[in-house]
Chain A
């Protein structure tokens, strides 16, 4: 049901759920407020898919059909670890470096070079294993996965095969409200450590096509292709999910939750566009009620959570349509590519039986042995994870909308927590962060770490308004200054003489002045045009430079307007 609804949203996202659009624009849906860096579903939704009406009609038919089927979705996620050096050598890795500048004999696979494990990789793997509630293997090992490809310098990838470092486990998440909300728990089968491969660049297709022509001179395969090994040997964690997801949005949210977890843990930047978080999705469908699985199809080239979502829903529709037309034999085990432009999946390669990777234990590396003390020490050092944070915020009385907004981005959550620990009111702090501060960050394309306002000052600002030292209006005014330039609330109030005027005598004097200067309006007011109270209030406020306590002002003004004649 949920999936059906969602596919409709895809076509008319703004019409059906305008509020959803709003909240997603603010980054509620996928994890980050730093919209310039992380692609979210929202950004792509802002350019609605070009769907012609006949296709729309077709889509509706497909939606009807898909109701009869259940999709089974599993995800393999590769997380690139943000260790200072690669997994097995001391090369640094920086995304976007010039080709082949971060390489050495080891990651180039030169003859005689040997891998030595970077112990940070183990630490990060244990962290993720614990965060995903996995069972850790105290004795695991590395294996070689063997295949030939030019981006794989050794002819094998150092990976883990039959004894991964972590098994079992699950991910908790809360679906965004605009998708019906609700809590989900998806199983994770295993987490294992492995190394990344380099990149094969094809001329005319890559960023470095210019260089290719200059580097190559003879007619051969490598006159059209070239290899960049910067990424070779960069540590990865592969997380394999259970086939627990049923819809595109569930899968996208699972991936988004993994991103949150790795960011909270500080083990990866989780950036999908840089390839720090890569998802390969397996989709099969079966008639509702059937217990055996259908033929699964793997989808690659999913560069955003939104494309995961849309690619899966497309694939479900495609398979359902084939089923309903009696062509289910055309659903074959294959790898399909998501084409962002065309918004569809296309065949990349058909699987010709199973690949034989000839795994065997990596003889160059000793077994990985963890002590319980080591695991415990890491366990004790884990930060509060997204799920715990959400549950805590929920218990604090915040709405799920607020909870998701605040907990999705670790930095926002940290900011919020610090604001609270400086004594701020929960609801007010949440409103300020989600309102004016979020708007400012969005306009200025800043992350919460970039703004000059400290959580302590935000707490001070909230307190100053609450205590009546300054008016809410003035609070908003100085907020923008604090955001852009920093400084303290007290300093600004003093510097600009912004303390609220709450002395009835002083306010009375100002009212008297305004009334005496506007006899005409006074007459009109008294002859029944009471709307003019606003005019008088405005004038007084102006006279007080906005500092007059509005409640007091209105009370005295009313007395004076209605009272003595």
Chain B
């Protein structure tokens, strides 16, 4: 392999545009121990860790050890990670936090929180391959803005998680490197494309993780793995450092084992970034301070909240077990005081074809940079076109190639109007219909996927069936809206059943409401345990 360019010193020159601007986030001094103990450990790992650290119940090193041990034990079964950080380095960071606490110095609100990062999100001096052979061994010279913010707040990066190559897929089987298993049933897919990030949280290999969601890549695997997944409004979180798949749809999203964790994580990475022209300048409300325990809730805490169940998402083609889980969730929301009604989004079914045209079109352009010229795997050739062709032929997997071909076709002269332009028109219609539905309802609900996790290999050779599985999620990306997926029930399958996720869709930039509703839903949902059996077999579920 050969690098044709020696980029000298650009690291020091690079972050000129206000990257270092610190964001307001309450940094508690460890000299003031957290006194609030009203939350239970399953309510928020992050808050629980913070409480334990600051009250010296637990050291960061002990905590890290317990996660690393679990990671070591479970990873051979589920293969979540493409790269695991050097344990010594991770423990060193934990030790630094302990030292600070000992000296009564301030530590960030995410101090000691082990976070896993999807491998299409750049991390400085760590491999970041996007799950593609063409970037094998590639180490970016910079952290994605979201990663940088997490690090600044004290989080420790535990590794890079597996994904469908460049985020293109719904099973994580399209990774160039490995197949990740679902912790609930090792013969099943974790969903995708952020399968590694979802499974690692599900298996409690880390506290929280970052994923990316272009057409459902956070929400569907959250549903499959029984964890909480939060896809923010487009523009809420900087995309800088996220390897672009479809720029107008891509968002970085969050995984956690609770709504609170997911909300806290999202809050940490939200806000304008001068390095991303599409990131919103809108103020980020503090949606991390509204987590109350179930015991302190009123009897009908969501009284009057208007909830619209999207009719088209519980139609034919949706697994009956999923349907009943969602109906159960809807009933639960009603018990909490919500006013439930069905809403129809007639344009709903148009979302899938529009999505695949737009996403493929943008990806065909975004992936042009992977040509082997400046970085990544380069084929050796004496002729320029052959160099391009071979580097890309060898570097990309078949799913990626298929989408590049589809996108190239859709953008070609003579086809642009029929495909790309038309899809954009559909997108406008979808956006409007969601707007109308959300004017009448506070939130919309639907399943996160038409089925629970399916078997590895089951849809590998049937791309259309796999694409159809994205029907529940793609519309939300086209409309740019935020959506929260949280586990709400089970269907039969595996040893103890397979989790089903409820999708809650909110108005643009209204993540606060999603987190609030989700948290209350989660705290009041009784009789379910969303810790996969694998973990209870291997070792304790919580730190």
Which residues of A pack against B, CB within 8 Å? 90-91, 100-101, 103-105, 108-117, 144, 146, 148, 150, 153-156, 215-222, 225-227, 229, 354, 356, 358-360, 363-366
Among residues 104 to 142 in chain B, which have CB atoms less than 8 Å away from a CB atom of chain A?
121-122, 128, 130, 135, 138, 140-142
Given A100-B6, A105-B140, A112-B140, A154 and B16 touching (CB < 8 A)? no
**Total number of residue pairs linking A and B with CB closer than 8 Å:** 156
**CB atoms of A116 and B276 under 8 A apart:** yes
Contact call B16/A90, Cβ cutoff below 8 A: yes
Closest chain B CB from A147 CB (angstroms)? 9
Q: Does B384 belong to the interface (CB within 8 Å)?
A: yes
Docked pose: A364 CA to B128 CA in angstroms: 21
A105 touches B365 (CB 8 A): no
Which 5 A-B pairs have CB atoms at the shortest separation, nearest pair first?
A155-B368, A363-B247, A363-B248, A358-B411, A90-B16
Q: Fill in one digit per residue for B9-50: 1 if any A CB lies within 8 Å of its CB, else 0.
A: 110011011000000000000000000000000000000000
**Within the complex, which residue of B2, B370, B373 is in contact with A216, where a contact is CB–CB below 8 Å?**
B2
Decide: B275 and A114 in contact? CB cutoff 8 A. Answer: yes
Contact flag A111-B276 (CB < 8 Å), given A219-B380, A227-B4: no
Q: In whole angstroms, how far apart are the Cα atoms of A104 and B230 in the complex?
A: 32
Q: Which A residues are in CB contact (< 8 Å) with B380?
A: 218-220
Contact B244 A112 (CB under 8 A): yes
Contact present for A363 and B362 (CB under 8 Å): yes
- What chain B residues lie within 8 Å of A220 (beta carbons)? 2, 378, 380-382, 387
- State how many angstroms separate the Cβ of A521 from the closest Cβ of chain B: 80
Partner of B10, one of A104, A218, A363: A104
Q: How far is the CA of A101 from the CA of B122 in the complex (A)?
A: 23
Interface residues of B in 203-256 (CB under 8 A from A): 239-244, 246-248
Determine the distance from Cα of A70 to Cα of B242 in the docked complex, in whole angstroms.
55
Q: Which of A110, A150, A365 contacts B375 (CB 8 A)?
A: A110
Give the residue of A110, A113, A226, A364 whose beta carbon is less than 8 angstroms from that of B4: A226
How far apart sit A363 and B413, CA to CA, in the bound complex (Å)? 19
Task: From the candidates A111, A144, A229, A365, name the one contacting B277 in the complex (CB within 8 A).
Answer: A365
24 chain-A/chain-B pairs, Cβ below 8 angstroms: A103-B7, A104-B10, A111-B375, A112-B240, A112-B241, A112-B242, A116-B277, A146-B411, A148-B388, A154-B368, A154-B369, A156-B365, A220-B378, A220-B381, A220-B382, A220-B387, A226-B4, A358-B365, A360-B416, A363-B248, A364-B244, A364-B247, A364-B278, A365-B277
B-chain residues with CB within 8 Å of residue A359 when the two chains form the complex: 411
A172 CA / B370 CA spacing, docked (Å):
46
In the complex, chain B residues 56-105 whose Cβ is within 8 Å of any chain A Cβ: none
Is B316 positioned at the interface, with any CB of A under 8 Å from its CB?
no
Q: Does B144 contact A (CB under 8 A)?
A: yes
By CB atoms of chain A within 10 A, which of B8, B121, B244, B276 has the most? B244
Q: A103-B5, A113-B240 are in contact. List 10 more A-B contacts (CB 8 A).
A: A105-B140, A111-B122, A111-B375, A114-B276, A116-B277, A219-B382, A358-B413, A359-B411, A360-B411, A363-B248
**Beyond A215-B6, A227-B373, A356-B412, is A112–B388 a contact (Cβ under 8 Å)?**
no
Note all chain B residues with C-beta closer than 8 A to A116.
17, 274-277
- Smallest distance from the beta carbon of A230 to chain B beta carbons, Å? 11
In contact, A217 and B384 (Cβ under 8 angstroms): no
Complex Cα gap A16–B128 (Å): 70
CB distance from B42 to the nearest CB of A (A): 34
- Give the residues in chain A near B408, CB-CB below 8 Å: 358
CA distance A315 to B526 in the complex (A): 85
| Per-position 1/0 for B273-300, Cβ under 8 A of A | 0111110000000000000000000000
User: Which residues of A have CB within 8 Å of B374?
Assistant: 108-110, 153, 227, 229
In angstroms, Cα B518 to Cα A65, docked, is 84
Residues of chain A within 8 A (CB-CB) of B334 are none
Bound complex: CA A131 to CA B490 (Å): 68
Query: Does B537 count as interface, using CB distance less than 8 angstroms?
Result: no
Residues A111 and B2 in contact, CB atoms below 8 Å apart? no
Chain B residues with CB under 8 Å of A90's CB are 13-14, 16-17
Q: Is the CB of B10 within 8 A of A221?
A: no
- Report the minimal beta-carbon distance from A167 to chain B, rounded to whole angstroms: 22
Chain B's closest residue to A148 (CB) is B388
Contacts of A363 in B (CB 8 A): 246-248, 278, 362
B82 nearest CB across to chain A (Å): 15
Given the contacts A105-B14, A358-B408, A364-B277, A111 and B138 also touching, CB distance less than 8 Å: yes
Residues of A within 8 A of B383 (CB): 221
Q: Is the interface of B mostly helix, strand, loop or mixed?
A: loop
CB of A257, distance to nearest CB on chain B (Å):
35
Question: Which residue of A100, A114, A154, A218 is within 8 Å of B5 (Cβ)?
Answer: A100
Contact with A along B349-388 (1 / 0, CB 8 A): 0000000000001101101111101110010111110011
Chain B residues with Cβ below 8 Å from A155 are: 365, 367-369, 371
**What sequence of 0s and 1s flags, for each residue 426-440 of chain B, a beta carbon within 8 Å of any chain A beta carbon?**
000000000000000
CA distance A156 to B370 in the complex (A): 12
Is B521 interfacial (CB 8 A cutoff)? no
Given A114-B239, A148-B371: A222 touches B365 (CB 8 Å cut-off)? no
Which of B14, B135, B412 sits near A104, CB closer than 8 Å?
Answer: B14
Q: Is the CB of B5 within 8 A of A108?
A: yes
List of A residues within 8 angstroms of B362 by Cβ: 360, 363
B420 within 8 A of A: yes
Q: Are A146 and B365 in contact (CB under 8 A)?
A: yes
Contacts of A111 in B (CB 8 A): 122, 128, 130, 135, 138, 140, 243-244, 369-370, 375
Set of chain A residues within 8 Å of B411, measured between Cβ atoms: 146, 358-360
A147 to B408, CA, bound (A): 11
Contact among B16, B121, B275, B365 for A144, CB-based, below 8 A: B365
**Which A residues touch B4, using CB under 8 A?**
150, 215-216, 222, 226-227
The residues of A that contact B10 with a CB separation of less than 8 Å are 103-105, 108
- Residue of B whose beta carbon sits closest to that of A198: B5
Minimum CB–CB distance from A110 to chain B (whole Å) comes to 6
Q: A221 CA to B387 CA in the complex, in Å?
A: 7
Query: Considering only CB atoms, which chain A residue lies closest to B411 in the complex?
Result: A358
Contacts of B16 in A (CB 8 A): 90
Taken together as a complex, chains A and B put the C-alpha atoms of A103 and B5 apart, in Å, by: 10
Known pairs A112-B242, A227-B373, A364-B247; A221 contacts B416 (CB<8 A): no
- Chain B, 131-158, contact with A by CB distance < 8 Å: what is the 0/1 string? 0000100101110100000000000000
User: With a CB–CB cut-off of 8 A, which chain B residues contact A91?
Assistant: 13
Q: Say whether B277 contacts A115, CB under 8 Å.
A: yes
Complex alpha-carbon distance, A360 and B14, angstroms: 28
Compute how far the CA of A310 lies from the CA of B242 in the bound complex, rounded to whole angstroms.
51
Residues of B within 8 A of A104 (CB): 10, 13-14
The distance from the CB of A404 to the nearest CB of chain B, in whole angstroms, is 44
Whole-angstrom distance between the Cβ of A78 and the nearest chain B Cβ: 22
CA distance A360 to B128 in the complex (A): 28
Determine whether the beta carbon of B17 is less than 8 Å from that of A221. no
Bound-state CA distance A144–B411 (Å) is 11
Given contacts A91-B13, A105-B14, contact A100 B7 (CB under 8 A): yes
Question: What is the chain A residue whose CB lies nearest that of B409?
Answer: A358
CA distance A371 to B381 in the complex (A): 51
Alpha-carbon gap, A360 to B138, bound state (A): 29
Q: Which residues of A contact B135 (CB under 8 A)?
A: 111
Closest chain B residue, CB of each to CB of A88: B277
